[in-house]
Homo-oligomer: A and B are copies of this chain.
Amino acid sequence: MPEKLYVGIDQTINSKFFITFFDPVRFELVNFLSSYEWLNIGEIAEHFPQDRSVISRHLDQMYQQNILIKEKRSKFIYYQLNCEYITKMFENTSSELRKLMDTCTSNE
């Protein structure tokens, strides 16, 4: 603790990503999208009780956090899980946390 070389986890961990990811509805969206490739907003919203506009906003929030990738084709907007980024984000966070936790357990 006196000679702390590591910066706080608030510096290295993107908590907004996780808050976006684990919201109940958005987490269901992730789960749903993991079974499909490109789907447009209407196709996605069909499978959820919420209004299409609500789903649209959730998808946009997920896109802002790079959880989804987006593609516009004519008047449709297709979304897909950004698998690479999601996996990397979790694994990087795991290792950042592992570093931090190693220092705190060694202090006991």
Residues on A lying within 8 angstroms of B by beta carbon are 1, 4, 8-10, 15, 18-19, 21-24, 27-28, 30-31, 34-37, 81, 83-84, 86-87, 90-91, 93-94, 97-98, 100-105, 107-108
Is A22's CB under 8 angstroms from B28's CB? Answer: no
Bound-complex Cα distance A90 to B40 (A) = 31
Is B18's CB under 8 angstroms from A31's CB? Answer: no
Nearest chain B CB to A13 CB, angstrom units? 8
Q: Which residue of B lies closest to A11 (CB)?
A: B31
Bound-complex Cα distance A43 to B10 (A) = 21
Nearest chain B CB to A44 CB, angstrom units? 15
Q: Which residues of B contact A27 (CB under 8 A)?
A: 9-10, 15
